[in-house]
C-alpha cells in the first residue's frame, strides 16, 4: 500500500506527531526538522489519507452540490459560482447531477451524508422529500437553489420569475404588441407559472385585458423541436399574434426557425422573447431578446449562505435571497435597424 505517516516518520527519524505537525502546523516545527520531513515525504511519494484525517478530525471541509442537469447552462454557471466561493473559503465541492430523478437525488444525498459533508446546496426535485427532511433533521445545513421553501426553515436563493415575466411583458407592450403568445413549459412548474403571472401583470398594467391579449400554449418539453412544432401549428391555425414570449431560449430558437421557414420576418412580423440568455442567444440567426438571470451570483450567494450557516450554526438566521432578472434586448424584438454586429461586412 501507499506509505503512511509512520513510514515518513521512520525515514525522517522523527515521531508521527511531528510529521502530522509538518502537514498541518508547519510553524510549530523547527526548520531543520521540517526540511527532513519534507524530503522524506517526497522521497516516499507520501499522500495524506483523507479518510483517516477526516475520521479523526470528526468534520470535513467539503459541501455537496446537487443540481438537476449539468447540461443546462444555468446550472453549469451556478456551479461555477459555488466553486468560486467555496475555493475562497477553503471548502471543497462535491458535484452531483440528479438528472431530475428522485432515486438519483436520494442516492447522492445518502452518499453526501455518509461522507459527512458540512452542508448541502440543492435544487431538489421536490422541495420536501423524505430524505431531504431527514438530512435537515439530523442537523446538516441545507440551502435551496432556484427554489423556495414556503415553510421557510432553511436558506434559499432564487430568481424572481414573476419579475422576469413582467419585464418581458412590459417590453412587448411598449413595442405596441397587443397579442402575445406565451409559449410555456408545464405550468405545474413554479417558474413557468410565475412568468405567466408576471406577463399578465405587465399587460394589465398597460391597460389591456390579459385574457384577450395573452394566448397560453403549454408544452410538456421545453426544447427547440417542441417549440418549432407548436409555432408551426399556431401559424397553420392562422394565429394573429404579433409576438411570442418563450419559457426558455431553446424554445425561442425553435419559434424563430419556424417563423423564418414560413417566410415571416423577425421582428417585423413576429417579435420573439426568450428566457435565460444562453450563450448562443446572441449568435442566433436573428439575435434573441432574452431575460438574463444572474446565474453565477446565485451560486455565489448560495455558497456564502451555506458556509455562513456551517461556521456559525447557533447565531445563523435563515435568509431567502431573491435576485432580479434583467432584460437583454436584441434584434428579435428591436425595431428593424441595420444589424449591429455586421455593419462592416460589405
Q: What are 274's three cell numbers?
A: 426568450
From the list DNA, a copy of itself, none, which binds 24 (C-beta under 5 to 8 Å, kind-based)? DNA
Q: How far apart are CA 116 and CA 142, in angstroms?
A: 13
Residues between 57 and 116 with contacts to a copy of itself, criterion CB under 8 A: 58, 60, 70-71, 73, 76, 79, 83, 92, 94-97, 110-111, 113-116
**Could you tell me which of 135, 131, 235 has the C-alpha nearest to residue 183?**
235
Contact criterion met (CB below 8 Å) for 203 and 180: yes
- Give least dist CB 39 to DNA, A: 14
Q: Is 140 in the site for DNA (CB under 7 A)?
A: no
Neighbours of 8 (CB within 10 A): 25
Q: How far apart are CA 89 and CA 92, in angstroms?
A: 9
Q: How far apart are CA 333 and CA 244, in angstroms?
A: 10
- Give least dist CB 341 to a copy of itself, A: 8
Q: How far apart are CA 318 and CA 140, in angstroms?
A: 13
Q: Is 282 in the site for a copy of itself (CB under 8 A)?
A: yes
Strand partners for 184: 218
Contacts of 169 (CB under 8 A, 6+ apart): 180, 198, 199, 200, 201, 202, 203, 245
From the list DNA, a copy of itself, none, which binds 17 (C-beta under 5 to 8 Å, kind-based)? DNA
Q: How far apart are CA 172 and CA 312, in angstroms?
A: 46
- Give least dist CB 35 to DNA, A: 10
Q: How far apart are CA 7 and CA 12, in angstroms?
A: 9
Q: Is 111 in the site for DNA (CB under 7 A)?
A: no
Residues between 202 and 231 with contacts to a copy of itself, criterion CB under 8 A: 223-225, 228
From the list a copy of itself, DNA, none, which binds 33 (C-beta under 5 to 8 Å, kind-based)? DNA
Stretch that binds DNA, among 22-30, 78-86, 213-221, 264-272 (CB under 7 A): 22-30
- Measured on CA atoms in the order 200, 204, 210, 215, is the torsion positive or negative? negative
Size of the site for a copy of itself (CB under 8 A): 61
From the list DNA, a copy of itself, none, which binds 74 (C-beta under 5 to 8 Å, kind-based)? none
For a copy of itself, the binding residue among 9, 222, 256, 301 (CB under 8 A) is 256
Q: How far apart are CA 299 and CA 145, in angstroms?
A: 8
Q: What are 89's three cell numbers?
A: 473559503
- Catalog residues that contact DNA under the rule CB under 7 A: 1, 4-6, 13-21, 23-24, 28-30, 32-34, 46, 48-49, 52-53, 55-58
- Catalog residues that contact a copy of itself under the rule CB under 8 A: 1-2, 45, 47-52, 54-55, 58, 60, 70-71, 73, 76, 79, 83, 92, 94-97, 110-111, 113-116, 134, 137-139, 223-225, 228, 232, 235-236, 250, 253-254, 256-258, 260-262, 279-280, 282-285, 339, 341-342, 345-346
Amino acid at each position: 500500500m501507499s506509505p503512511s505517516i509512520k513510514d515518513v516518520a521512520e525515514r525522517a527519524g522523527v515521531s508521527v506527531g511531528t510529521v502530522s505537525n509538518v502537514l498541518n502546523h508547519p510553524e510549530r516545527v523547527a526548520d531543520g526538522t521540517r526540511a527532513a520531513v519534507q524530503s522524506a515525504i517526497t522521497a516516499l511519494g507520501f499522500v495524506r489519507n483523507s479518510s483517516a484525517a477526516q475520521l479523526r478530525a470528526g468534520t470535513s471541509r467539503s459541501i455537496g452540490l446537487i443540481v438537476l442537469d449539468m447540461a443546462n447552462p444555468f446550472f453549469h454557471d451556478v456551479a461555477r459560482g459555488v466553486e468560486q466561493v467555496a475555493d475562497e473559503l477553503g471548502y471543497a465541492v462535491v458535484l452531483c447531477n440528479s438528472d431530475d430523478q428522485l432515486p438519483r437525488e436520494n442516492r447522492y444525498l445518502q452518499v453526501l451524508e455518509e461522507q459527512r459533508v458540512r452542508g448541502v446546496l440543492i435544487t431538489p426535485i421536490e422541495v420536501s422529500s423524505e430524505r431531504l427532511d431527514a438530512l435537515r433533521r439530523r442537523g446538516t445545513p441545507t440551502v435551496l437553489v432556484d427554489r423556495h421553501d414556503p415553510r421557510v426553515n432553511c436558506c434559499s436563493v432564487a430568481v424572481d420569475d414573476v419579475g422576469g415575466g413582467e419585464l418581458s411583458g412590459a417590453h412587448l407592450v411598449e413595442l405596441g404588441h397587443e397579442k402575445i403568445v406565451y409559449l410555456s413549459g408545464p405550468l405545474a412548474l413554479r417558474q413557468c407559472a410565475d412568468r405567466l403571472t408576471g406577463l399578465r401583470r405587465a399587460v394589465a398594467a398597460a391597460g389591456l385585458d390579459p385574457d384577450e391579449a395573452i394566448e397560453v400554449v403549454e408544452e410538456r418539453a421545453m426544447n427547440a423541436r417542441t417549440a418549432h412544432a407548436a409555432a408551426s401549428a399556431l401559424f397553420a391555425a392562422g394565429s394573429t399574434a404579433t409576438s411570442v414570449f418563450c419559457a426558455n431560449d431553446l424554445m425561442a430558437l425553435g419559434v424563430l426557425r419556424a417563423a423564418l421557414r414560413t417566410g415571416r420576418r423577425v421582428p417585423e412580423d413576429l417579435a420573439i422573447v426568450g428566457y435565460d440568455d444562453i450563450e448562443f442567444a446572441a449568435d442566433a440567426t436573428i439575435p434573441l431578446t432574452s431575460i438574463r438571470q444572474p446565474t453565477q451570483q446565485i451560486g455565489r450567494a448560495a455558497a456564502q449562505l451555506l458556509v455562513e450557516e456551517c461556521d456559525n450554526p447557533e447565531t445563523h438566521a435563515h435568509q431567502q435571497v431573491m435576485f432580479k432578472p434583467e432584460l437583454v434586448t436584441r434584434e428579435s424584438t428591436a425595431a428593424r435597424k441595420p444589424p449591429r454586429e455586421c455593419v462592416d461586412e460589405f
